Chain A
């Protein structure tokens, strides 16, 4: 049973436009959510996170929105750049120093 779902396997956007990556979860015990960027044969790189007590967190070009009632979060990247092309994983945890539960990832391609 997948507790973190990234239903779209891939997304292609034009450089300069907005990329919106979606993630849904089922476990109401999750209280912290993270986005990671990953290249093949490399470890995930932390991008941005959000606590369940917030509904938005922004860091430069990256903004994460959380809708607790819908158990849905999204990562917005604007403007998108070709260097953003990678696999993006949504992850959730249910406490400090707890394991992370990952979604399957979405492959983002930003076209020049």
Chain B
């Protein structure tokens, strides 16, 4: 199956600082990357979709200047939470979509962000 890694697995940062989360597809190329987040006891909510080499498309209510997404290669995407606030504390999960038409999607192990 598809192998996806995320780094770091957890991070604690202070308010006002920025945090970068990396997502790698280890055994396949991903032309599309989905970034989700999950607040405690809630569902996974899509934040943004990015295609390799293009600007990301953000879901309604997600600030593009706050959550910077870079999808520079077919195996690596990064999500940077800028000027983090305690309300950004959440579980962030990436989902690279394999090149070519595919319905099945696989997820990274997630990154737990805690902003103090």
Interface residues of A (CB under 8 A from B): 32, 34, 36, 41-46, 49, 51, 89, 93, 96-97, 99-105
Contacts and interface: CB of A to CB of B under 8 A. Distances in A.
B43 A102 contact: yes
Interface in B24-53: 31-32, 34, 42-46, 49
Contacts of A51: 103
Contacts of A45: 107
A50 B1 CA distance: 18
Contact of A89 (B31, B44, B49, B103): B44
A8 B97 CA distance: 30
Nearest to B6: A43
B60 interface: no
Given A49-B104, A100-B44, A100-B46, 15 more contacts: A34-B103, A41-B110, A42-B109, A42-B110, A43-B4, A43-B107, A43-B110, A46-B1, A46-B104, A51-B103, A89-B43, A93-B105, A97-B102, A99-B34, A99-B49
Contacts of A99: 34, 46, 49
A97 B104 contact: no
A41 B45 CA distance: 15
Contact of A104 (B43, B104, B106): B43
A41 B91 CA distance: 7
5 contacts: A41-B112, A46-B105, A51-B103, A100-B34, A100-B95
A43 B109 contact: yes
Nearest to A103: B43
